[in-house]
Each structure stands twice: as structure tokens, then as C-alpha cells.
Amino acid sequence: MNTIVGIIRHIVLVSIVFVVAACAKPEREPAGEKGTVFYEKAAVHAANHDYENALELLNKGLARDTLDGFSLEAAEALNRKSAIEALTGEYFDALASHEIIEQQCKGMLADSVETGRIRTKALLLAELGEFAEAEKALMKISSMSVEDSLKLARYQTLAEKPEKAFALYNGLSGNIDPLVSLQAYTGLLELSLDESFGKAEAPSFYVHKTIGLARKLLDEERKGTERAEALALRRAAMLLEMFPAHVRDASYLYFKALARARLAGEERLVQVLDFESNAVLANNPEAYARTLDYFERNNMPLARMVALLKQGTGSKIDDAEKIKVLKKGLSIYQYQLAPLPGYAIVSLIDRSTDTLVELLLSKGRYAEAFEYDELKKLYVLQQAVQHRYDSLELPGKHEKLARQVERIGLELNALLQRSMNCYESGWGYEMHATTIDAINKKRGQFYEKIGELRNVSPLQAERLALAPVTLRTVQQTLDENHAVLKIIEGKRWCTVFLVQNGYVDVSRRKIDDALYRSRLKRLTERLAVGAEGDITGIARDADRLWLTDLLIKPYTGRLQDVQRLTVIAGEPVPAHLLGNNRFLVRDFPVSWVYSANEIAYQTSLKEERDAEQEFTFYSTEKYRDALERKLAFPRQAVFLLWKHFSDTELEEMRVLLALSLQQGGDPSGMLHRLVQNKQAESDQWFYVSEYGVRGK
């Protein structure tokens, strides 16, 4: 099974076999007791939040009731069982229960109950990240409500089916109810933020429509829809807040949403909106203190994180307090990270981390700045790992452990996503406490299995439990001949770290990130269209020389004594083609990685490379794919291509790389030898660089 869908189907199939087998062989119970007795006892336990005993009793009742087939009572019990399993984060058991209902109890449940069951199943699949499967499940509802259609469009958006979502939102945008049309237009606004989707109008069009419909909704006198209105207004405000010209509109809608939440009696939502409405413009310290205290007392970590980060980036507090507040917020983020946070959360995390890093650099606190810049990148690495549990391969006798890690890891991610969805949408606060308890329990199970995995494969365990890396940790992983350049481009300053085993230096230049990126982009574009023989012209390229002056020149003396260089940056840098008098790759092997965490992980590899070396190539635009590949298969050689190569050219390169590998060394070392070859018929090797580093 190579996909998450495959893993889900495998685990569900195993669970179905197990459940049916259990149903066929009931334990001995007092004669005369039917399943009903167990179901009644289970209901009492569930009401007291004793879900473990409730599930045990439901299973016993089902074992009795299904001896001669499935009845309506058994179908209803299975549905209640699936609800408890879903609530406690046992996703695959819940999906197995749904599967049994669909296979064995078709048509038994009342229409309204069956519709609710389908919605729950679709939600479970969506929380697991299987949006196409969630879409497929939801479409089985025979008569969809407007709310179902909005949810379906959301799943289609997340399933990367923007055309379908656009058509559905577009149809709903003409609804006469402004509450419905407002939600449709916020969906269209979110779609328009994706530049790769060309069918939508410009975001400004949907912004004005959203504002107009929000005002129309507020002008109406309505009863009984206060909660839905509060959530729709809040969603609109969250998107409008991303546009500087409409911050006041966002503030207005937040305050109106707060008023609606108070009318609805939604205390948790009131507290969230209290700080959100304050954070846009007012930034009242008392409001922050009041809501932060509430979030801490009521175990609402995500709301507390967002409040701290907004206070740290928006309020007028001194630098020392700002650093303290941002550190607190980011420490929560590290443990509440969901696979798919929304635009607003991602934007806030990036802005908060950048603010903190710039503050620390300005104070000369370089080691801390290094660590927090890496924390932002940890999210990308963890996302790559969260989608690659299927790459966990262990020897046959440990196959069961591999599957347990997969299952628990996926369920933990799904629970974290549920918590994130609860905060972002405002729905589900009534089960928030249970979700947090389930996260803590599932995380404990996950790290217990990681402990077992560490005894079998320490490297696999480290990959699946990535943690923030410090400057000192990176230093300790480097041998004496290996140097690392880490680039942090800020709004006003560009900072470059030179890191060696026993040495650290920092260079700062007053150059903003826009200028740095424009220069890098121009050089990258020239490489992308590089014709045969153009390498001489590239040597004289003004952007190459400018980047050399910024990144390499401050450390020219130190680099004369190194035998290997790795560059860390947020996007690919052709560092192998930088250099004062000649390209660096002529002097020593050069590679690039996204994060220092990858250096710490990959340099810990002590096993020999596979005898049959596989070479994989990615264009620089697909560097995230290269990152995922290297994390999943750290012993494979991964290369970045700075211009287009035909399939024939790539195959020829594989042959030459394989021949070079026989001489010993590693991927970047091979490239170093190939560009030094005076008899080479082509300069193609200058357009290839290694992703990653070698083990010691």
C-alpha cells in the first residue's frame, strides 16, 4: 500500500474481520440477557465520559445481537459505537463500524439517522486528510441541505478540485439568504487566493462582495441563527484581515460576530471573538490578559497560541516583552501542529516567527534566532513526514510494529486537525475537551511506539519524531572539513551564518528580502534557459557576482580550508556556481538543503549506501518533492536540476553517475569530480546540484 487511502482500506478491512469475528463468538454471559441490557449500561458509561467501558459493553451486546444476523437494534448500536470511536480518536475502528453498517445493515437506519451517519463518516475521512474520499462519502446523501453543499465545496477545495468547488460556490452565491451567499463568497474568496486557479475573479472582487453581503446580513432581523451568523461573520473577518486595506472592515465584522455569539450564549466562541476583535486594531492589554487567562484555564491551546502571537506581532509592548510573548506562542504551536492549517494560521505563524527572529538578531542573540528560524521550517518537514508513514519499512518480523506506527500516527494527525478545524471554524467546541484528552492519549501511544521503533531502527524513529534543532546540535554533527552556510533573509537585513564544528560567525548586510529574492530569481531564470556554452557568460553574470559578494565573500578565507559546503536556505540557491574567481563546485562538493534539521538527521547515517544506488532528479521548482524524497529515503542520491533535461539526457547522466559512484564518494563529490573533468563533452553538470548531505 503506497498511499494513505491504501493504508486506510487495509486497516479498515482488518478491523471489519476482527469485529465480525468477535460478533460471531460472544463471551458467556448470564442466560436471558439480550444486547439491549448491554446497550443501556453502555449509554450510562458514555454519559459519564467512560468511553472505554461503553465500547466494551457495546461490543458484548453486538456479539449477542448478531449471532443470527444484523437487526435494526444492532445497526443502531453500531452507529452509537462508531460515534464513540470517532469522538475518542479511534478513526479506523470508527470507519470499520461504518463499513459494517453499509455492508450488513443497508436500509435499516431511519433516513435522518443515516444522513447523520454519512456526514460523520465524511468528516472522519476529511480529518484524516482524505478529502476526495470525504467528497465521495458526502455525495451519498440523497437530499443535500445547503450546509451539506457548502461542506462538499470545502472538501472539493481541499481535494484540489477547484473547478468543482468554484461551480458549487458560484451556484450558492446567488442564494436569496445572505447567510448562505456570504459563506459562498468567502469560499470563492479563498479559492481566488490560489494564483494557480485561473477561473476565479481577482480577490478584490470577492472582498467587496463579502463586505456587501455581511452588511446585508447585519441589516436583517433574524431569530435562531445567531450562532451560524457569528461563525459566518468571523470567517469573513479572518479572510478580510489578510488584506491591509480592509483591516477596519475585518475589525467591524469581528465585533458584530462577538455580539451574535453573546446572543447565542456560546461562551467559548465569545472568548475567542473577544480577543480577535481586540487584536485587529484596539490591542487592549486588559482584553489580552482576560482572554489568555480564560484559554489557559479551559485548556484551549490553539486559541491561546493565536492570542499570544497576535499580541506579539500587533500590540505596542517593548521588545523584551514581545520576545517573551512570541516564544510562549510558538512553544504551543510546536505541539499543536496540524497537517493542514488554514491561510490565516499559516500567515500568522510565518509573520510571528519572522518578527521574533529579526528581534533576536537585532539583539545579537544569534543562537536563539537560528533555532526559531528552524522551528518555522520544522512545520514543512513534519508535513512531509505526516504524509509518508507508508515509507516506513521494517524487517518482516517487525511489520506489525510498522503498521501500528502508521495507524497511531495518522490518528494523532487527524485529532490535531480536528482541534485546528474546531478553532478555525468555531464548530465543535462542545467536544473540545474530549479532543484534547484524545490528543494527549494518542501522543503518548505514538511516542511509546517510537520508543519500540528506536530499538529496531533508530534512524526511522528519528525521522518520524523530528524535533527542533539548535545551532550547537548542527555543529556537533559536522566533521572538521564540513562547513555550513545558513541564510536568513529579513525585511531589512540579510543574515548569513557560517557554521563549522568548532566555529561560528555571522555576517549581516542591510539588504531587504525583496532585493535578495529578485536577484536570486534573475540568476535562477538565466540558468533555466541556459544554452550549451553559456556557462562562461554565467561566470560574469551580475546577479551571480552580487550574490557571491553577499553570501561568500565575508567567509572567503575560512572557505579555503573546507572540503565540503552545505547551504541552508528557504528556497534553492545555486551556491555551487557562486565564487569569487571560479565556481565553488570546482574547489569542493557543494549541496543545498531546506533545513538544518536535515543536516542533523542525514549526517547521523552510518550505514553504507545501498549497492544498487538509485538517482532521483527534481527541478528546482519541485524542491519540496526532493525534500520529501530525501526524508523518506535518506540513503538515495537526490539531485536538483537548474534547467530542463530530456529523458535521454537524464538516462545518460544516471549511467555516468553510476560509473562515478564506483570510484567511491557521495553525490556532491561525484558532481565535483565531473565538473573537473577537462574531457567532458558538455557543461551539463554545472546545471545539477545535490539535495541533502552525506552521512559520516
What pLDDT was estimated at residue 239?
A: 93
Q: Which of 214-218, 461-465, 595-599 has the lowest mean pLDDT?
A: 461-465
Query: Among the three residues 437, 464, 491, which one is the final residue of a domain in this structure?
Result: 464
222 falls within a domain: no
Question: Are 556 and 663 found together in one domain?
Answer: yes
414 falls within a domain: yes
Question: Are 537 and 596 found together in one domain?
Answer: yes
Question: Are 492 and 417 found together in one domain?
Answer: no
662-677 pLDDT, tens digit per residue, is 766 677 777 877 777 6
292 falls within a domain: no
Question: Are 452 and 526 found together in one domain?
Answer: no
| Residue 627 neighbours by CB under 8 Å, 6+ apart | 380, 381, 384, 594, 598, 691
In 10 A of CB 361, how many CB atoms? 20
Specify the residue for cell string 446572543.
263
Question: For residues 608 and 518, what is the distance between their CA atoms, to the nearest angstrom?
Answer: 41
CA distances from 227 to 238, 264, 426, 471 (A): 16, 5, 9, 48
Query: Among the three residues 464, 486, 506, which one is the final residue of a domain in this structure?
Result: 464
Q: Are strands 494-500 and 482-489 parallel, antiparallel or unpaired?
A: antiparallel
Q: Evaluate whether 604 touches 574 at the Cβ level (below 8 Å).
A: no
Please give the angle made by the CA atoms of 465, 471 and 473, to the nearest 5 degrees: 50
The three cell numbers of residue 462 are 528519528
Q: Which of 12-21, 267-276, 459-468 has the highest mean pLDDT?
A: 267-276
* 221 DSSP assignment: -
What pLDDT was estimated at residue 610?
A: 45
Q: Evaluate whether 496 touches 671 at the Cβ level (below 8 Å).
A: no
Query: Among the three residues 449, 464, 479, which one is the final residue of a domain in this structure?
Result: 464
Q: Can you say whether the dihedral through the CA atoms of 143, 430, 83, 96 is positive or negative? A: positive
Beta-strand ranges (E) seen in 557-648 are 564-568, 590-593, 615-619, 637-641
Helix axis angle, 667-676 to 647-661, nearest 10°: 100
Question: For residues 2 and 373, what is the distance between their CA atoms, to the nearest angstrom?
Answer: 33
What pLDDT was estimated at residue 608?
A: 41
Question: For residues 259 and 263, what is the distance between their CA atoms, to the nearest angstrom?
Answer: 6
What pLDDT was estimated at residue 612?
A: 44
Compute the CA torsion angle 399, 402, 404, 409 (nearest 10 deg). Answer: -170
Where helices occur in 571-613 by DSSP H, the ranges are 596-602
pLDDT at 613 over 60: no
332 falls within a domain: no
The string of DSSP letters for 261-324 reads: HHHHT-HHHHHHHHHHHIIIII--HHHHHHHHHHHHHTT-HHHHHHHHHHHHHHS---HHHHHH
Q: Which of 453-467, 635-649, 681-695 has the highest mean pLDDT?
A: 635-649
Q: Which of 159-163, 478-482, 528-532, 544-548 has the lowest mean pLDDT?
A: 528-532
In 10 A of CB 580, how many CB atoms? 12
143 falls within a domain: no
Q: Give the chain's mean pLDDT.
A: 88
Specify the residue for cell string 478529502.
131
CA distances from 165 to 122, 152, 170, 171, 178 (A): 16, 8, 8, 10, 19
636 falls within a domain: yes
548 falls within a domain: yes
3-class SS of residue 603: coil
21-75 pLDDT, tens digit per residue, is 555 444 445 444 577 899 999 999 999 999 999 999 999 999 888 888 889 999 9
Question: Are 536 and 389 found together in one domain?
Answer: no
**Phi, psi at 497, each rounded to 5°:** -95, 135
Question: Are 572 and 652 found together in one domain?
Answer: yes
pLDDT at 104 over 50: yes
The three cell numbers of residue 304 are 491561546
What pLDDT was estimated at residue 26?
A: 46
- The residue range of the domain holding 421 is 383-464
Q: Which of 6-10, 292-296, 397-401, 663-667 has the lowest mean pLDDT?
A: 6-10
Question: For residues 232 and 159, what is the distance between their CA atoms, to the nearest angstrom?
Answer: 22
Question: Are 484 and 506 found together in one domain?
Answer: yes
Question: For residues 344 and 238, what is the distance between their CA atoms, to the nearest angstrom?
Answer: 7
In 10 A of CB 220, how many CB atoms? 11
Question: Are 523 and 590 found together in one domain?
Answer: yes
What pLDDT was estimated at residue 609?
A: 45
What pLDDT was estimated at residue 664?
A: 66
Band (pLDDT 50/70/90 cuts) for residue 655 is confident
Can you give the pTM of this predicted structure?
Answer: 0.89
What pLDDT was estimated at residue 318?
A: 92
Please give the angle made by the CA atoms of 252, 253 and 255, to the nearest 5 degrees: 70
What pLDDT was estimated at residue 309?
A: 95
Percent of all residues in the chain with a pLDDT value above 70, rounded to a whole number: 91
Question: Are 412 and 557 found together in one domain?
Answer: no
3-class SS of residue 489: strand
Question: For residues 657 and 670, what is the distance between their CA atoms, to the nearest angstrom?
Answer: 7
Question: For residues 59 and 96, what is the distance between their CA atoms, to the nearest angstrom?
Answer: 13
Q: How far is CA 159 from the centre of its chain?
A: 15
**Phi, psi at 153, each rounded to 5°:** -60, -35
260 falls within a domain: no
Beta-bridge partners for 636: none
- Give the type of residue at 553: K
What pLDDT was estimated at residue 464?
A: 85
Count: domains in the chain: 2
Question: Are 595 and 491 found together in one domain?
Answer: yes
Question: For residues 186 and 246, what is the distance between their CA atoms, to the nearest angstrom?
Answer: 14
Question: Are 459 and 570 found together in one domain?
Answer: no
Question: Are 450 and 554 found together in one domain?
Answer: no
